Structure 1
Amino acid sequence: MTLSALRSDALAATPNGFELRLGLPWIRSMPLSSVGELALTLDDTPVAVDITVGDRCVAPDHLADEPGWWFIQDRLVLAGHEHPLPGEHDVEVRFTLMVPYLQGGPGAPLALPFRIAGTLTPDAAAGVPTVSRDVA
């Protein structure tokens, strides 16, 4: 399920830093509130990010309050405020996905830990149209 979560065109430089577009590694669309404990490392260094939801920035620990959805064809945009150097970067995203319709224990939803990693080059596919859109 994680094969398409971090595509080769996922990392892009921006005027304010970078954006990383992450695909949902699950078989169904999920509420944004089901994403927890989100952490990003870039070249083995933890990086603070915000989540771009439409035209708003949301801190990862505030996703629990978001009413929107992460559809399986959409990309969750992680916005970092540091400029990555040119060239390849080792990227790792870790988060927990709470599956509200599956029980993981008495009175608790199933919580799945995900680790998605890859080596990416910023703007590797600049100008190439993508088939996905950002979470709105």
Structure 2
Amino acid sequence: MMETAFRPDALTAVPGGFELRLGLPWIRSMPLSSIIGLAVEVDGGAVPPGGLAVVLGARRVPPAALQEEAGWWFVQDRLVVHCGHGLAGGSHLIAVDFQLLVPYLQAAPGRPLVLPFHIEARLDPLHAVLPGASRDVA
């Protein structure tokens, strides 16, 4: 699961920054509200939280606002994270950290399981987004 979280085309330069397309590193589709504490690093430096947004169709939603979203992150789809941070040319070490609250599994009585994820890869923004079966989460 972790090896497919970042495909070679996961990093794309866009006006005003870059976008990451992140695959769900879990065995089942999850509600967007289960994503907690989304953070991004580029070459070891943190992207400020105010510089992050999750792209949902035509909207950009701050990561903390995902708790209020009714949509789903389907296993085959890519979560698009917009970062208002410029990139120099060439490849970059990209790391994404977040927690996934699994509402149907308990860590203790009355407390859902929360799993930490750290996904890291060296990516180049020159790769075009590859056609495939996945879509961007909308």
When the two structures are superposed, what TM-score results if normalisation uses the length of structure 1? Answer: 0.95
Residue 41 (structure 1) aligned with residue 41 (structure 2)? yes
- CA distance, structure 2, for counterparts of residue 127 and residue 97 of structure 1: 26
When the two structures are superposed, what TM-score results if normalisation uses the length of structure 2? Answer: 0.94
Residue 24 (structure 1) aligned with residue 27 (structure 2)? no
Identity of counterpart residues, as a percentage?
53
Secondary structure class of the residue paired with 1:39: strand
Unaligned runs of 5+ in 2: none
- CA distance, structure 2, for counterparts of residue 128 and residue 67 of structure 1: 28
The structure richer in helix per residue is 2
- Aligned CA RMSD, in angstroms, stands at 1.1
Name the structure 2 match of 1:94: 97
C-alpha contact 2:37 2:63 (8 A) present in aligned 1: yes
- CA distance, structure 1, for counterparts of residue 17 and residue 8 of structure 2: 18
Name the structure 2 match of 1:135: 137
Pick aligned residue for 2:77 from 74, 77, 82? 74
Distance 1:103 1:132, change over 3 A: same
The runs of 4+ residues in structure 1 deviating greater than 2 Å are 127-131
Q: How many residues align?
A: 135
